[in-house]
Amino acid sequence: MNFKSILIKDTSKKKKFWKTERTFEDFLRNRFKQPAKISLKGVFKKHSKNQQTFDSFKFFIVGSYFGYHKVNSREVKYFDLTTAVLKSYVPENSSSSYGFTLIRYSTQSKDFVMENKAAFEKWWSRLKLFCVQTDFSASYELASQVGKGNFATVHKVKSKKDGKYYAAKVIAVEGLTKSMKLRQAVRTELAVNRKMRFPTILKYFEVYEDEQKIYMIFELLEGGELFDRVLKRKRYSEREAAIVMKQLLEALQFLEEKGIVHRDLKLENILLVSEEDDCLIRVADFGLATFLEMLDPKVRCGTPGYVAPEIIAGEMYDCRSDMFAAGAVLYILLSGCTPFPGKTFEEIMSRNRKCSPKFNSPYWANVSFEAIDFVVKMMTADHRKRLSPKEALESPWMKKMLEATRLPSRYNLEHHNSIEYLLVVMNNYLKIIGRRRQ
């Protein structure tokens, strides 16, 4: 096979298939900053050096690394699966064996075989999460286009294996070959998606690449964008908004733990699971996401009306920039209005930069002071004072809304049982009004 994947970037100078560590403990210590665990292990066969026989070894996957223990030795052989192409392998003269091939550097390949079908499917499911595959048309058929962006289209696709429908983000390879910046962005997006294993984040399954296109496969949701649901409903009750925010904040807390910044959080990138439920969501579209360790403050991205002021100013930013965008999402959910309205791009960005959202009637007349205070603390201009996901989840307003079993969508201050807290909220609210009048 001489296919060279544009998604794979391997900077290794020595083109050896396997890397070596003296012990498994050395492997863990040298490859992982945080404690890491084996996600999958088992005994099966691989081709011997002379490619004439299959020998049994103890294999494992830790993170994105695939490796094995040598027989009668503590030495470990391994490599990063994100640098490999995965293909199915049919062993000769064996109808009861199941196999796969891993290819590196376009030409070097290793074949692996196991006897148990259930074990094979478990390994294949894990391997395809990290590797690149090349036979999209053999696995899926295109059903219809459901979305379009600047560099990609989204299609509804049907699996030929289980008959289920999925979503495929399709990117033309030609554009990536001409732009190193775009090529790196897609590689980063793929690396981020491979780490996205969380209930309220859109589930990624696998990626395919051929000479013309790249296909990233995700779960298919039927509920549409939260943006369209807000347009239909006009606004959400405080309790409904809190239910949405809990899922969103938990996703942002997960991203923070993984050292990932979304950088384009907005209503359009929050998907609803079904048409029947207005509150069950998934965070999606990590096309502008990056890892904190790779973050360049000179790169300013996001959508006007949601962008944190530190990003607009070209200052260093971190995961709390996503909290600002989450605050803008909550603002819209509660009021049905954007926090920074304007007729032109310049007008919207100017108000976004000044970071002074208004809480005027009639849009905010029936929203509690606690909710307004919560929005303000999420959208404060100083990111050092902005709530973290953990702090937001533990806020009095969130707890009160989520603990209420039957809370009316419009309620007044007589329902609040903490006079001291109300005084603090009123004081913060008056400060906001005072700043706005200056």
Residues in the chain with pLDDT < 50?
Answer: 405-422, 424-425, 432, 435-438
pLDDT at 70: 76
User: What's residue 96's pLDDT?
Assistant: 67
Domain covering 19-128 assigned CATH 3.30.420.110 in the classification: no
Residue 2's pLDDT is what? 66
The predicted pLDDT at position 95 comes to 64
Cα 147-152-154 angle, rounded to 5 deg = 35
pLDDT of residue 13: 66
User: Distance of CA 195 to CAs 78, 130, 168, 200, 260, Å?
Assistant: 20, 10, 18, 13, 10
User: Where do runs of H (alpha helix) occur along 140-237?
Assistant: 173-178, 180-194, 226-233
Task: Kindly report, as residue ranges, where domains of CATH 3.30.200.20 are found in the chain.
Answer: 137-219
Is residue 264 part of the annotated active site? The answer reads yes
Homologous superfamily, domain 226-437: Transferase(Phosphotransferase) domain 1 (1.10.510.10)
DSSP 176-192: HHH-HHHHHHHHHHHHH
162, 228, 264, 285: which is the annotated catalytic residue? 264
User: Identity (one letter) of the amino acid at 297?
Assistant: P
Between the alpha carbon of residue 369 and those of residues 39, 366, 372, 380, the distances in Å are 47, 9, 5, 16
pLDDT of residue 15: 81
pLDDT value of position 3: 76
Q: Range(s) for CATH 2.30.29.30 in the chain?
A: 19-128
* Phi, psi dihedrals of residue 303, rounded to the nearest 5°: -115, 130
Domain 137-219: give its CATH code: 3.30.200.20
pLDDT for the residue numbered 90: 83
Question: What pLDDT was estimated at residue 361?
Answer: 86
| pLDDT at 97 (0 to 100) | 84
- Closest C-alpha to 127, from 78, 36, 76, 64: 64
Domain with CATH 1.10.510.10 in the chain: 226-437
